[in-house]
Structure 1
């Protein structure tokens, strides 16, 4: 008689939904604290203190911090550990230069863009302005909706690679933008500026000194100066 067969190995045994969701919740809570200003740039993110405060294990905190480092919200340095990221003036300038290339290409592509991509620009703008005017959105939510609008401009090009580049740039910029909005309480002003840009696009006013392309250039140049001055990065 043949011996009893060995049950097939379950490849999913090592997976743990509870552990993964705990890491996500810890990352979400630290992320919220960063955007709301409870944790300022340069604040050390100590594993022991965070684990005690949040009631989780140090390995869970360590994994959550790795997520935040990947997102650009935190940095990990030898012998110093993990800390909330600090924007640098030259990085802000470089990101804004790259934004101008990508978003400027999107604005120039407006006349040839299909109706779906054009509609997404309006949809992301409406979501951002609605969040601003509700007065109830967190800085994290405002930041995400703000940057989604700028990515939608790049989507007008129809190039997935350019969109990926834009999303990477926004990851670098979102901490600095969130801090400026929180410091200056200027989300309402930003919403108005974005509405002006979309009105020019929808009127097919792209070129010339009063067109959308020039409007965007001034918007990005002003954002660069505002971020650097507000955060004292000079």
Structure 2
């Protein structure tokens, strides 16, 4: 193997582009997970890319057990899948699951939006704060991972308007299943500023007490998001 510029052996794999970071022993696994998660959300590791322990260990300058533990965490997050006799690979969003999760997400978020008038001031403030943090992330040219997280935080705040921790937990689970697909759409669209405006409209309608209009706008917004995901996967929304 030919040494690369970081001093580690080059493997000629997709992981050569990953940046070797200074890893402290106490947080090595977390840092590896952070680097791999970033690479997935930035599109450096596409859906279906095999995540080979040896190649990753050499590229990141860590041990194979460390990589193995990091991959287990990525699988638990739904960003990677483990297949018998084939190892671990970056997850590929499943169209049927996307449709089912999108329906569940719509029910939960609409329940929150329709409960705006009865929601606590704290839950309403959480919606405004989530929007402000998303707008700041967009203005600050944050990573796709950060944008994705801030984007979904707004939608989870909508669920929070129900005042039900159980429904919020269900919403968080649904959003976790959509994170990878939504990140791919956001990279393709590159329209984060438009997304800020769309979410601002939703919040403006709620604060103007136009709850029915806000619910209708949210339903359209979520339907457009699902259609964009399916299009990104090469499918028509009706398939």
Q: What's the TM-score once normalised by structure 1's chain length?
A: 0.89
Distance 2:44 2:77 in 1: 18
The answer for unaligned runs of 5 or more in structure 1 is: 1-17
Q: How far off its partner does 1:231 sit?
A: 3.0
Picking from 86, 102, 106, the partner of 2:92 is 86
Aligned residues: 213
Q: Aligned with 2:49: secondary structure? A: coil
Q: Which residue pairs with 1:142 in the alignment? A: 147
Picking from 194, 206, 228, the partner of 2:230 is 228
Q: Does 1:202 align with 2:207?
A: yes
Cα 1:116–1:219 shift into 2, 3 Å: same
CA RMSD of aligned residues (A): 1.1
Q: How does 1:1-150 map to 2 (within 5 A)?
A: 19=25, 21-134=27-140, 136-150=141-155
CA contact (8 A) 1:88 1:233 kept: no
Q: Aligned with 1:83: secondary structure? A: strand
The answer for unaligned runs of 5 or more in structure 2 is: 1-23
CA contact (8 A) 1:180 1:231 kept: no
Q: Deviations over 1:142-180 (max 9, x none)?
A: 001001111000011110000000111111001111111
CA contact (8 A) 2:95 2:233 kept: no
Q: Which has the larger radius of gyration?
A: 1
- Which 4+ runs in 1 deviate beyond 3 A? none
Q: Does 1:216 align with 2:222?
A: no
Q: How far off its partner does 1:230 sit?
A: 2.1
